Structures are given as structure tokens and as C-alpha cells.
Structure 1
Amino acid sequence: MVVPSSAPTEPIHQEPVYQEPVYQEPRMTLEEAGPEPRDGFLWSILSCALFLPIGWFAVYKSASVHPQWQAGEYALAHRSAATAKTAAVIAAVVGVVVIVGVLAWLLISSR
């Protein structure tokens, strides 16, 4: 059945849609931010040689520091630089532990 356009229609009741609150990073001024953080790109690349999965993450984070700084996201750039440094150190430690473990296993199993 087709409802004529002049016939009044009931409004459709819709439930209110819940929206997750959006967290906004506090904005810093250039003076508050200080100098541009060191991205640690070289250490991130070297950490890839020791443990690739975490090393890739470190490279990704360190490569994002400069574009974030240029976009005015100073707090985010500082956090990305710290994350890249931490990931590079973790990759280096895990890589050394794995290498020493494999060498020890080879040494023990060859006897």
C-alpha cells in the first residue's frame, strides 16, 4: 500500500547513539616543547639487525618524529621519539639474548 504524501506520518523513534569520547592530546607551544627530539633512526636501523620485528616498530616510530614535529604535534613527537628509543633498546637486548642462546645451544648440542 502506498501512503499519499499528504498523509501525516509518525516520526521514527531512534535510540540515541553512544559516541566514545575522543581523547585530545594537550597542545604544547614550541617554547614549551623545547628543541626537536632526536629520533634515534640509526639505532632503530641497527636494532633491526638484532631482532627484526621490534626493530621495524622502532624504525616506524622514529620515522614519524620529524613529520609530527613539523605538523605542530610536539608532545606526540616527543612520545614517539621515546617509544622508538625504548623499542630499539628492547630489540637489541632480545636480539643479543637470542643470539647467545642459540650459540650456547649449538655449543652444548655439538658435544
Structure 2
Amino acid sequence: MVTRTHELSDADVDAIFHALADRTRRDIVARVIEREQSVSALAERYAMSFAAVQKHVAVLQKAALVRKERDGRQQIVHAELERLRRAQQLLDRYEQLWRHRVDRIASILDEEGP
């Protein structure tokens, strides 16, 4: 369900949360935000196979958090900053919701008094 054109669909949100649920994928996102990297360079940093790192990158691609571009024989991974901003905005809305709820609970408790 899409509520506005600039917001994420439910499927988008599911894909983003799924992608970021894994610590290796979160680390990959952090690394490519800092600077684009080849899949090979990323794979050197983890105690797993090149194919496993490729699979992590594919999950991040499916969530549109990163994109790959071929540069000769290498595949360079880039962060999709706009998509990451949208994910951050979603998390900000959740934070606002919970802050409002906490404030409301505090208000109710203050009304009841001792």
C-alpha cells in the first residue's frame, strides 16, 4: 500500500527491514556510504566466501539500498542515498509516534497523582 508517491510501499519497507536485519549487510551499507567499493574489496573484509558477500549485496540491491555498476571486470557497489534517506524518514516517523505515546503515558500518570 502506498499512501503518498514519495513514501515507501509496504513491500519496500519489508525489503528494507529484511535487508538491514543482518549485521553484515548493515556493515556493507556503512562501508559503501563512506566510499563506493568493489564486491571483491568488500569480500576481503568478511570471513565468508565471495559468493556469500555477493548474496548479501543482492539482498541490499533488491531493497534498493545499493546498486552495482560494472567497471571493467569489477562490480562496484554504490549506496543509494535517496533510498536510505527515505528509510531514515520512516524510522523518524516511528520515533515520533513512540515519543508521543511515552509523553501521553507520562501525562496520564501525572493526572492520576499520588
Give the shorter-chain TM-score range: 0.3 to 0.5
What's the TM-score once normalised by structure 2's chain length?
0.33
- Which of the pair is proportionally richer in strand? 2
Which of 1 and 2 has greater Rg? 1
What's the TM-score once normalised by structure 1's chain length?
0.34
| Greater relative contact order (CA < 8 Å, ≥ 6 in sequence) | 1
